């Protein structure tokens, strides 16, 4: 079956072309006929194309391989129902699905499915248990974590929403209450662009695949949104029923009731605008994925119970409603500060004052508490081993000078053997503060272009209502400032020279590559983790003093020059990454008090492996096994290249020792019979982690009630030695801008 120039292989067994009646068995070929399909596959009556039979997946033209009951395996891992490979009857459908939403929706129940879109798909067809997994992302990242380790929302979107990178078709299944062509239906989620609307063959692929695995009744395709509806309207005699949702008969629905204060923002079709927690966002269509925190959502298209937006709104308790002709109705209020109250039958929109809104926001946002105040007087590049960390007071004083990441390694230096430590030192907040105070640029702060320092610019913006209330303005200005800092900001030459001398003192040579990592006072706490918000960079001190025009690094001739100045400005500028600002803002952190230090450690070349490890499972607090994610060489584990899978292992700990190793996922970068971490490596790492659970001090356990884990990053050095390169406490909780899959009922 042709689809955009390539064959789409989706597992299924034989079904009549129009699919009105189930073909319970494959058509038996004549005795002298040649079966055109591979083992485990059967030809389609419609056009003879081959489809994998139920219980099989892969390439039906070559061979469909049988798959185990992966849903049962997932259930054993997570401790509750996860999914099914087939829906065999009404009772099973009722058990795995949810009530369909408001009575006006005409939908009795809803579920979720994933269908392979290529022979290389990591899963066969699965129907999620929507009682636990209302988002495809959560099903993949939690129930099937071994297949999708460290899956981000962005990774998920690539795997589901766009043709170029699609591994699965994701969508919803429906049971209708009103008159439709069929009792049941299905939808397909795609990016909201004309070129991504599924064509008739793509829909047939999903329909064909689902039909033999969904036995309660015939399925009809339900186009989602205007683009899919417009595409479907052009089809002539499609080989499957089509059911519309009849939106015109309903003018209002409430999905999450509540009260919100915010400024009305009309969502743009190009997706370029940014929105924040002070925004009441009006969407013409229902966004398939949405990252960020907003005050409330109003959509011009009706939502499903299991839409991404509805699930996240329900988690956060932020109002979410459908209003017919929403954009037209809300356009007169664009940019206005309003109070929205939505209940089951109606909504009210009234003007609000700044004082009213601020009082509401202050009382309904989480608080990360007070920061360790930045001590700008300390100027020394102290080694980890020399930073006092014996008491809580000493650790607090050290965090005020160097930031949390440096202090974590300083604390670790007194708790584990020297051979497992990362040598290095901290760059204090003093140097960041001098950089933003001493550098100036031409900028309009509201009264025309003027010369202002970076620090003066930030102070003016933080006092500017336009900056504080408009997310798009924030995103644009912060991006401009980061570009200025990294492109034209000047690092004091005396600082560069002193830093070079310190690197020689600590590591023996200025031609050794070091890693300069962010270490702020707004990260690594029990109430604000900060992981991934800031940047790190590699640097070569010798490159800062190389002859002009040098084209290769003096630390590594295979790399471009990496002077200290470039790494420092990249790390310092990342304090003002848009995502970092938004998360801090939502957690009521005072941006005027944040500061950025840096951790300087050896950058290991030719390392054998690297990875991350937790003294528990960050996505399942009930699972007490230690989680270890490792990858060969220096290939990133935290932000892997798409298609590259890291090794995932769970360690059973008894009396401080590793007594069991469960190798769940193999690395895609090693041979099938090879491992990244040997049993001896894992036993050593697990033993060190177990010891640290009793010796590493935790100054703040947070307020979630969930005991903090220890989160470590490690390397296997070229000589085979294990080195811990980072440690911090980690309270299992998602950022406000991410789905919290553990909170599903």
Q: What is the pLDDT of residues 2-50, one digit of tens each?
A: 222 222 222 222 222 222 222 222 333 444 445 689 899 999 888 889 9
Domain ranges, ordered by start, for the chain: 7-16+49-245, 249-364, 368-603, 609-743
Q: Scan for tokens 């002709």, then name that residue.
A: 325
pLDDT tens profile 136-176? 888 998 899 888 877 877 788 889 888 888 999 999 998 98
pLDDT tens profile 77-89? 888 899 999 999 9
Query: Taking the CB of residue 438, how many other CB atoms lie within 10 A of it?
Result: 14
Query: Taking the CB of residue 483, how many other CB atoms lie within 10 A of it?
Result: 12
pLDDT for 699? 81
DSSP SS3 for 534: coil
Asked if residues 634 and 610 have their Cβ atoms less than 8 Å apart, the reply is: yes
Long-range contact pairs involving 579-584 (C-beta distance under 8 Å, separation at least 24): 579/533, 579/737, 580/522, 580/530, 580/533, 580/534, 581/474, 581/478, 582/276, 582/277, 582/292, 582/293, 582/471, 582/474, 582/737, 583/528, 583/530, 583/533, 583/735, 583/736, 583/737, 584/368, 584/522, 584/528
Fold for domain 249-364? Glucose Oxidase; domain 1 (3.50.30)
The number of helices, as runs of H, and strands, as runs of E, in the chain is: 19, 32
Overall pTM > 0.75: no
pLDDT for 306? 64
CA distance 173 to 189: 12
Identical fold between 249-364 and 609-743: no
User: Which of 298, 299, 211 lies closest to 260 in space, CA to CA?
Assistant: 298
- Residue 272: pLDDT band with limits 50, 70, 90: low
- Residue 291: pLDDT band with limits 50, 70, 90: low
Fold for domain 368-603? Dna Ligase; domain 1 (3.30.1490)
Min mean pLDDT across 228-232, 315-319, 650-654 is at 315-319
**Beta-sheet pairing, 337-342 with 258-266:** antiparallel
pLDDT for 635? 84
Query: Taking the CB of residue 2, how many other CB atoms lie within 10 A of it?
Result: 9
**Residue 265 phi, psi (nearest 5):** -125, 130
Fold for domain 609-743? D-amino Acid Aminotransferase; Chain A, domain 1 (3.30.470)
């Amino acid at each position: 079956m042709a689809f955009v120039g390539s064959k789409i292989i989706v597992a299924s067994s034989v079904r009549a072309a129009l699919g009105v009646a189930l073909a319970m068995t494959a058509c038996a070929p004549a005795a002298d006929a040649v079966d055109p399909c591979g083992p485990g596959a059967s030809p389609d009556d419609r056009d003879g194309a081959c489809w994998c039979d139920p219980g099989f997946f892969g390439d039906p033209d070559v061979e469909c391989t049988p798959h185990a009951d992966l849903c049962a395996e997932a259930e054993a891992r997570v401790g509750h129902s996860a999914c099914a490979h087939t829906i065999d009857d009404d009772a099973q459908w009722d058990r795995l699905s949810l009530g369909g939403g408001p009575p006006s929706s005409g939908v009795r129940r809803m579920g979720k499915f994933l269908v392979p879109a290529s022979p290389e798909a990591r899963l066969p067809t699965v129907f999620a248990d929507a009682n636990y997994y209302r988002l495809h992302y959560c099903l993949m990242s939690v129930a099937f974590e071994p297949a999708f380790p460290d899956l981000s929302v962005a990774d998920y979107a690539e795997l589901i929403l766009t043709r170029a990178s699609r591994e699965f078709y994701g969508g919803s299944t429906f049971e209708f209450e009103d008159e439709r062509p069929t009792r049941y239906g299905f939808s397909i989620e795609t990016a909201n662009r004309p070129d991504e609307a599924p064509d008739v063959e793509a829909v047939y692929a999903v329909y064909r695949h689902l039909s033999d695995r969904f036995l309660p009744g015939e399925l009809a395709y339900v186009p989602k949104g205007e683009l899919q509806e417009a595409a479907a309207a052009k089809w002539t005699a499609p080989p499957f029923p089509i059911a519309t949702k009849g939106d015109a008969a309903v003018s209002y629905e409430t999905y999450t009731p509540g009260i919100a204060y915010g400024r009305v923002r009309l969502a743009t079709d190009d997706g370029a605008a940014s929105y924040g927690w002070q925004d009441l966002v009006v969407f013409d269509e229902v966004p398939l994925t949405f990252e960020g925190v907003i005050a409330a959502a109003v959509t011009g298209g009706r939502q499903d119970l299991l839409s991404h937006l509805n699930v996240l709104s329900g988690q956060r308790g932020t109002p979410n409603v459908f209003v017919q002709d929403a954009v037209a109705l809300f356009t007169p209020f664009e940019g206005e500060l309003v109070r929205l109250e939505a209940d089951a039958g109606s909504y009210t929109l009234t003007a609000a004052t700044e004082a009213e809104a601020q009082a509401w926001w202050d009382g309904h946002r989480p608080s990360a508490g007070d920061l360790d105040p930045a001590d700008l007087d300390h100027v020394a590049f102290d080694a980890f081993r020399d930073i006092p960390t014996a008491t809580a007071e000493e650790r607090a004083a050290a965090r005020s000078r160097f930031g949390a990441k440096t202090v974590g390694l300083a604390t670790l230096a007194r708790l584990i053997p020297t051979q497992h430590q990362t040598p290095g030192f901290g760059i204090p907040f003093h140097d960041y503060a001098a950089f933003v105070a001493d550098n100036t640029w031409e900028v309009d702060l509201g009264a025309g272009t003027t010369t202002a320092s970076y620090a003066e610019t930030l102070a003016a913006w933080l006092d500017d209502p336009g900056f504080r209330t408009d997310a798009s303005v924030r995103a644009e200005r912060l991006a401009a400032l980061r570009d200025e800092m990294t492109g034209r900001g000047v690092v004091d030459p005396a600082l560069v020279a002193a830093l070079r001398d310190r690197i020689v003192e600590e590591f023996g040579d200025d031609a050794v590559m070091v890693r300069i990592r962010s270490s702020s006072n707004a990260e690594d706490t029990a109430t604000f983790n900060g992981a991934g918000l800031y940047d790190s960079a590699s640097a070569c001190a010798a490159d800062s003093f190389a002859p002009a025009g040098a084209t290769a690094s003096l630390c590594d001739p295979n790399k471009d020059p990496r002077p200290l100045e470039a790494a420092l400005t990249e790390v310092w500028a990342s304090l003002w990454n848009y995502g970092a600002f938004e998360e801090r803002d939502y957690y009521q952190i005072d941006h005027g008090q944040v500061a950025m230090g840096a951790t300087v450690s050896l950058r290991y070349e030719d390392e054998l492996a690297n990875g991350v490890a937790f003294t528990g499972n960050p996505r399942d607090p009930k699972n007490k096994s230690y989680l270890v994610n490792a990858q060969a060489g220096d290939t990133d584990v935290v932000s892997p290249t798409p298609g590259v899978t890291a090794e995932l292992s769970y360690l059973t700990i008894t009396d401080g020792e590793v007594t069991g190793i469960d190798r769940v996922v193999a690395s895609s970068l090693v041979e099938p019979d090879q491992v990244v971490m040997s049993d001896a490596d894992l036993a050593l790492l697990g033993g060190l982690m177990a010891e640290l659970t009793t010796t590493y001090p935790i100054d703040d356990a947070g307020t979630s009630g969930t005991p903090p884990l220890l989160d470590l990053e490690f390397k296997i050095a070229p000589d085979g030695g294990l080195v811990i390169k980072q440690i911090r406490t980690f309270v299992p909780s998602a950022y406000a801008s991410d789905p919290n899959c553990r909170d599903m009922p």
